[in-house]
Amino acid sequence: MFLSEAAGETGDTIVLDGPEGRHAASVRRLRAGERVDLTDGAGRVAECTVTSAGKDALTAAVLRRYEVPPPRPRLVVVQGLPKGDRGELAVEMMTEAGVDVIVPWAAARCVTQWKGDRAGKSLARWRSTAREAAKQARRFHLPEVTEQAATARVCSLVSAAALAVVLHEEAAEPLSRLTLPDVPGDILVIVGPEGGVTDEEIAGFRTAGAVPALLGPTVLRTSTAGVAAAAVLLARCGRW
C-alpha cells in the first residue's frame, strides 16, 4: 500500500511519484501487471494495476475506487514522553494496533523534554513513524499525532471524551472490567511516563472525569502500556 492524494480524486490513471513512487519503483521494484493499492490516508482507496514503472515513479490504471469509513469509537492515547527512542516504538506499536489519535504529553515526571528545536524534530519523528507504520499495517486512515500537550490540555480532552481512563498501578478496577460508554464519543487512555503520574495529575484527571484503571498484574514500560491498553479496549468495543 502506498500513499497518494490522487487516490481521492477522479480519473482512470494515477502517476505515483515523489518519495512514494521512488519506494514503489526502486525499493519494492513493482513492475507492469502487478496490483497495488493507493490511499489518501483519509479513507479513500484506489485499487490499481501498474501499467509502467520508471526509476523513481510508476503509472497505474485504476480498477476501482471506494471509501472506508473511519472506525468508531475513536481510540485516543495520551502518551507521556518516554526516554530515548522508546517514543517512536510506542507510536509504531499503537499505530499497528489501530489507535486513532496519539497525544504526546509533557507530564511532570517526564525525563525527556521537548523544547525549542527538539520539540519540532521529535514531533516530526513521531509523525513519520506513524505514517510508515500505518502503511505497513495497511491502514486506510492514518492516525493523527497531535502537537505536544500540557496537563491542562489533557484535562480538556478528558472532559470531552465519552470515556477517559488513566492507567495507574494503585487503581482498584481492572481496565478489562470497566463499563464502556453507550453514547458516541472518544475513548481516551492516559499513559504516564517512566516516573509515573503524580498525585496532582491524577487528581486533575479525576476532576475532569477520568477513571483510574489497572492494566494488569505486571508493571509495563510506558512504551508498551499504550498498545496493551489499546488491545484490551479495541477487543472490548468490537473493533477487533
pLDDT by position in tens, the chain (length 240): 999 999 999 999 999 999 999 999 999 999 999 999 999 999 999 999 999 998 899 999 999 999 999 999 999 999 999 998 999 999 999 999 999 999 999 999 999 999 988 899 999 999 999 999 999 999 999 999 999 999 999 999 999 999 999 999 989 899 999 999 988 999 999 999 999 999 999 999 999 999 999 998 888 999 999 999 999 999 999 999
Q: Say yes or no: do domains 2-67 and 75-236 share a fold.
A: no
CATH architecture of the region 75-236: 3-Layer(aba) Sandwich (3.40)
| Residue 159, φ and ψ in degrees, nearest 5 | -60, -30
pLDDT at 84: 86
Distance CA 71, CA 82 (A): 27
Distance CA 139, CA 133 (A): 9
Distance CA 225, CA 214 (A): 11
Domain boundaries, the chain: 2-67, 75-236
- Greatest CA span in the chain, whole angstroms? 60
For residue 139, is it left (φ>0), alpha (ψ between -120 and 50) or beta?
beta
Contact of 191 with 215, CB cutoff 8 Å = no
pLDDT at 78: 98
CATH architecture of the region 2-67: Beta Barrel (2.40)
